[in-house]
């Protein structure tokens, strides 16, 4: 009877979400674990089977670092972002658009979901330009340095035509965060940025980041301090006061950008927890943190959606 109760609890959400577009970003650490990827792919297939249109964007930082170390290629991360020199770009192309993309496609097929592997280059999905050197302050020394991120791109425009065609024909686009500048140069783009921008461009109902943390915590050392929902303004305040720090900062900033670009619901959750995606989407209690525009919070409290 408990399972019947869960199904009944999920039914209003299923009705609400049918034919909606969800953009889901998978962190590379999740794809690295075959069992976790299998579990997540099964959950994604369930969304697919009940009529939710899914666009999947994946990272691959841990895999790129692992292969680079095996090849003796030194890696440099500044402000949570990877500097992409010539050698690192070659690794990125192999890992992102090759190994990881195909592993995800294989798992989705296993669970009955049709999918197509893409990069931002395919169909001109991502129009990008090479990032100019950035002035960054070293937090330890206070010295400002000019940082050249190498073959790293900034997004100019997202072209949704190919994505719309694939969704219409019931395919899940699986996109690696590789793009080009239209001049023959391939660029590495942060996957959180790609996912956030695509979510805004396709007018997604939800943008979901699946990573290795349980959401936004009031106390980083206390998993029970998870915040169930928060406004984008309060999320930015938590960055400013140092509650949110480290690698979480760029992730949350991209979540906030999605909210500010009219994505109605943005979620951050721990993909290592079994069925975390389904619990977050189909139960009132949820399983991560949802970020909303200020004006949406009252509606969420009233309706539960």
The continuous run of DSSP H or E covering 14 comes out as: helix 2-17
pLDDT tens-place values along the chain, 305 residues long: 356 666 778 889 999 999 999 999 999 999 999 999 999 999 999 999 999 999 999 988 888 888 888 888 887 877 667 788 899 999 999 988 889 999 999 999 999 999 999 999 999 999 999 999 888 777 777 788 788 888 999 999 999 999 999 999 999 999 999 999 999 999 999 999 999 999 999 999 999 999 998 899 998 888 889 999 999 999 999 999 999 988 899 899 999 999 999 999 999 999 999 999 999 999 888 889 999 998 888 878 777 77
Domains and CATH numbers, the chain: 2-303 (3.40.1160.10)
User: How far is the C-alpha of 70 from the C-alpha of 202, rounded, in Å?
Assistant: 38
Q: Tell me the pairing of strands 21-26 and 153-158.
A: unpaired
User: How far is the C-alpha of 223 from the C-alpha of 211, rounded, in Å?
Assistant: 15
pLDDT of residue 1: 39
User: How far is the C-alpha of 269 from the C-alpha of 181, rounded, in Å?
Assistant: 33
3-state secondary structure of 209: strand
pLDDT of residue 97: 86
């Amino acid at each position: 009877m408990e399972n019947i109760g869960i199904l009944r609890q999920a039914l209003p959400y299923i009705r609400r979400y049918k034919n909606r577009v969800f953009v889901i970003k998978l962190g590379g650490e999740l794809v690295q674990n075959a069992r976790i990827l299998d579990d997540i792919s099964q959950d994604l297939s369930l969304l697919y089977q009940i009529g939710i249109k899914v666009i999947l964007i994946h990272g691959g930082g841990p895999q790129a670092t692992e292969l680079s170390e095996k090849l003796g290629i030194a890696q440099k991360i500044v402000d949570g972002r990877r500097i992409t020199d010539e050698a690192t770009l070659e690794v990125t192309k192999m890992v992102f658009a090759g190994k990881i993309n195909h592993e995800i496609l294989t798992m989705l097929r296993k669970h009955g979901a049709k999918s197509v592997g893409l990069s931002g280059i395919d169909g001109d999905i991502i129009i990008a330009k090479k990032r100019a050197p950035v002035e960054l302050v070293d937090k330890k020394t206070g010295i400002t340095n000019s940082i050249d991120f190498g073959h790293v791109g900034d997004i100019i425009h997202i072209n949704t035509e190919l994505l719309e065609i694939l969704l219409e024909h019931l395919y899940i686009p699986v996109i690696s965060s590789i793009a080009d500048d239209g001049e023959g140069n391939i660029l590495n783009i942060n996957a959180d940025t790609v996912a956030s921008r695509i979510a805004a461009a396709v007018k997604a109902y939800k943008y979901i980041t699946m990573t290795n943390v349980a959401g936004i915590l009031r106390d980083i050392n206390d998993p029970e301090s998870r915040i169930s929902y928060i406004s984008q303004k309060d999320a930015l305040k938590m960055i400013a006061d140092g509650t949110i720090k480290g690698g979480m900062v760029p992730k949350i900033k991209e979540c906030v950008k999605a909210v500010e670009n009219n994505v109605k619901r943005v979620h951050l959750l721990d993909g290592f927890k079994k069925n975390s995606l389904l619990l977050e989407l189909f139960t009132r209690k949820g399983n991560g943190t949802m970020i909303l525009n200020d004006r949406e919070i009252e509606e969420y409290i009233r309706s539960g959606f």
